[in-house]
Amino acid sequence: MKSAIILTLTLLVLGIGNWLISSVFNLNFVDVSIPFAVVCAGLAHSFTGGTSPYTRQSDMEMRGETGIRMPFKNKAARTSFVFFGTLTYFVFALVMTFVFYREYFIG
């Protein structure tokens, strides 16, 4: 139940963010959706992934300060429902763009 709420909130926040950007810059909602989804998916993966560059940087700083080399555990990348929500939004944006510009793609 918690994961469904997180996924729904992620889609809602992305939709509102996309609407705000398209309103402020006077652009079409569909034209902004794909780049916005790609940027949000990259941010979500970098902040919620198990082996993010931020985590590795803090590990390296700790090694440099203490001089103790801790064994690096290769963690499997944990993906969150926020990341799955951004991917869902990206797929929805692709489908919506194809439907909106179907005359351009087909003919």
Residue-level pLDDT at 76: 52
Burial class (CB in 10 A: 0-12, 13-18, 19+), 15: middle
Q: Enter the pTM of the model.
A: 0.73
In single-letter form, the type of residue at position 2 comes to K
How high is the mean pLDDT of the chain? 84
* 38 or 66, which is more confident: 38
Where residue 28 falls among pLDDT bands split at 50, 70, 90? very high
Is pLDDT of 12 > 60? Answer: yes
Residue-level pLDDT at 51: 59
Q: Which of 3, 2, 34 is nearest to 14 (CA)?
A: 34
